[in-house]
Amino acid sequence: MTSEQLQKARTFEETYGPRVPESERPLFHVTAGVGWLNDPNGFSVYRGEYHLFYQYHPYSTHWGPMHWGHLKTKDFLKWERLPVALAPDCEYDRDGCWSGGAVELPDGRQLLMYTGRRAQEENGMEVAYQTQCLAVGDGRDYQKYEGNPVLTAENLPDGCSPHEFRDPKMWREPDGAYRAVTVTCAADGSGAVLLWGSGDGFSWRFESVLERCRNEYGAMWECPDFFPLGGRQVLIVSPMEMRPMGLEFHAGYGTVCMIGSYNREDGAFSREAVQSLDYGLDFYAAQTLETLDGRRVMIAWMQNWATVACQAHGIRCYGEMTIPRELSLRGNRLIQNPVRELERYRVNPVVYRGILLSEETSLEGVRGRVLDMTVSVAPTSENGYRWFKVRVAKDGERETTVQYEPESGVIEIDRSRCGAPYDITHVRKFLARRQNGKLKLRFVMDRHSLELFVNDGEQAASLLLYAPESADVISFEADGGIVRMDIEKYGLEMP
């Protein structure tokens, strides 16, 4: 049965979604049907296709009572919109259906697990409770489970807060058992990741505390995911209130990737390496799935909570996801590259080899705002060069720059002059691995976003660009020496 709230959201989306001008949407990145989008949810395989749900408030371009929007795809680039999946229409989720995960049940149904939020007044203050809830469906319509909520304050280990208990990410183990991770706030006021187990997907029990923040990486954690990769185990979380640490972690809302090992017997995770997931300005709440051919693919919200008020006037649709990325490990580092399916959408190759560069230069055929471009540079002499710079989304007035200094290994992204309507954080620096001044930068641009992949995925950096699409000039410049540059640039088109 479709509730009144769900029907209202579906009708609203059907009416106003088609009125969002195409120019307001990227070409191949996921956006909301209409209105506001945040975290990816339920990113999973169902009946041979990839489903993606998302935190959704159709009625405005600002966060509000959360629904789950829904799409599916076969190749991570061409998406089919499906009707709104969940609305906050029950007592236990009346203030929002918050983030969660999905799995396919052996009987062919799809199971969603999400956080139900319910707020009430206590001593003149609003106090919210978060519980974990289920919904079952056929890939289009969902029924909330009559046994909801399935995890509440009573299931939490001592000291964990029922007010901060959310974001279940669920998967099925090779032996058929179900597992999920959630976050909570531990007694020390900082985040922890809890592991939960179930035989049937409906009845859940606490298994272990997988990892604790101990106020080291931010305070409260959000949106965990936990998966095997290359013989190791990876835990990702999105911490709030991060303190900056060198050039690895910036302040505020961040993302952290922990690589280690996992003992299934006692549910213990041993952390061996920690890094940022993304080094750009806009990236949060990442979630992964395993593809039908065994790849681990991650998608995230290409945004930062601190800058969500930076919206152009009059828009009808706000928020987009990153391009789905294939993950792998190289030693103790997480490697991420755009899904290989992107290559199918490349058109009009423009290739330059061995360009000798110093002064600011633009090259014939190398411009645009929807493109996949790889730039490799190397010094031409032993003295090297001081810096190398790529300017994109440029016109007479605006530009966004990516600069590399071989001496320090620092890459600096600067969009201060990109045309943003507010003075939000615009500059980010991070360290690339130094290789005698050799550097490879892959730029994936889709109208108002840039995702940068450094040295074949050793680092990724995502950011939104606020310049109008007409700002499409790209230029290259080196200082303090001549560099040799190779370029391979493709346009991207959706047939």
CB 492 within 8 A of CB 372: yes
As measured in angstroms, the least distance from the Cβ of 66 to ligand FRU is 5
The reply to whether 180 sits near ligand FRU by the rule CB under 6 A is no
Q: Is 294 left (phi over 0), alpha (psi -120 to 50) or beta?
A: left
Q: What three-state secondary structure class fits 319?
A: coil
Residue (155 or 184) nearer to ligand FRU, CB:
184
Instruction: In angstroms, give the least distance from the CB of 219 to ligand FRU.
Output: 13
Work out which of 13, 89, 211, 222 binds ligand FRU, going by CB under 6 A.
222
Q: What is 243-255 written as a DSSP string?
A: PPBTTTB-SBS--
Q: Does 155 engage in binding with ligand FRU (CB under 6 A)?
A: no
Give every strand in the sheet of 165-172, ordered side by side: 165-172, 178-185, 191-198, 204-212
Contact between 369 and ligand FRU by CB under 6 A: the answer reads no
**How big is the chain, counted in residues?**
495
Residues in a beta bridge with 46: 49
Nearer to ligand FRU by C-beta: 222 or 326?
222
Contact between 167 and ligand FRU per CB under 6 A: yes
Site string for ligand FRU, 255-294 (x = CB under 6 A): -----------------------------xx---------
**266 — alpha (psi -120 to 50), left (phi > 0) or beta?**
alpha
Residue 198, token pair as written in the block: 């179930």
**Within positions 307 to 326, which residues make up the interface with ligand FRU, using CB under 6 A?**
none
Q: How far is the CB of 115 from ligand FRU (least distance, A)?
A: 5
Tokens 């755009």 found at: 338
380 in contact with ligand FRU (CB under 6 A): no
What CA–CA distance (Å, rounded) separates 471 from 269?
Answer: 47
Q: Is 93 in the site for ligand FRU (CB under 6 A)?
A: no
Choose between 250 and 398: whose C-beta lies nearer to ligand FRU. 250
How far apart CA 156 and CA 186 sit, in angstroms, is 10
Residue 399: half-sphere exposure toward Cβ, Cα within 13 Å:
16
CA–CA dist 34, 32 (Å, integer)? 5
Nearer to ligand FRU, 98 or 466 (CB): 98
CA distance 173 to 155: 22
Select the residue interacting with ligand FRU from 31, 44, 55, 276 (CB under 6 A): 55
Q: Are 238 and 285 in contact (CB under 8 A)?
A: yes
The amino acid at residue 197 is: G
CA–CA dist 367, 354 (Å, integer): 19
CA gap 69, 306 in Å, rounded: 23
Q: Which is nearer to ligand FRU, 69 or 139 (CB)?
A: 69
Q: By C-beta, is 34 or 66 nearer to ligand FRU? A: 66
254-to-250, 369, 425 alpha-carbon distances in Å: 7, 27, 13
Q: Which is nearer to ligand FRU, 66 or 210 (CB)?
A: 66
* CB of 301 vs ligand FRU, minimal distance in Å: 7
198 binds ligand FRU (CB under 6 A): no
Binder to ligand FRU among 98, 165, 204, 404 (CB under 6 A)?
98
Q: Work out the angle at residue 192's Cα, subtended by the Cα atoms of residues 186 and 198, and round it to the nearest 5 degrees.
A: 110
Distance of closest approach, residue 94 Cβ to ligand FRU, in angstroms: 15
The answer to whether 169 contacts ligand FRU (rule: CB under 6 A) is no
CA–CA dist 212, 160 (Å, integer): 11
Cα distance between residue 337 and residue 458, in whole Å: 9
Which are the contacts of 162, defined by CB distance < 8 A and separation ≥ 6? 129, 130, 131, 152, 153, 156
Handedness of CA 274, 114, 197, 103 (dihedral sign): negative
| Interacting residue with ligand FRU among 44, 99, 288, 449 (CB under 6 A) | 99
The yes or no reply on residue 223 touching ligand FRU (CB under 6 A) is yes
Annotated catalytic residue 39: yes
Q: Give whichever of 223 and 450 is closer to ligand FRU, judged by the CB atom.
A: 223
Shortest distance in whole angstroms from residue 89 CB to ligand FRU: 16
* Residue span 20-39 as binding mask against ligand FRU, x where in contact by CB under 6 A, dash where not: ------------------xx
Rule CB under 6 A: is residue 115 a binding residue for ligand FRU? yes
Least separation in angstroms between CB 16 and ligand FRU: 21
To the nearest 10°, the Cα dihedral for 53, 56, 59, 64? 160
Q: Which is nearer to ligand FRU, 307 or 380 (CB)?
A: 307
- Residues 407 to 466 in contact with ligand FRU, rule: CB under 6 A: none
Least CB distance to ligand FRU at residue 493 (A)? 32
Instruction: Report how many residues bind ligand FRU under the rule CB under 6 A.
Output: 13
Give min distance, CB of 284 to ligand FRU, in A.
Answer: 6
Which residues from 66-85 bind ligand FRU, rule CB under 6 A? 66
In the set 39, 95, 282, 446, the catalytic residue is 39
Applying CB under 6 A, the residues found at the interface with ligand FRU are 38-39, 55, 66, 98-99, 115, 166-167, 222-223, 284-285
Question: Catalytic positions, please?
Answer: 39
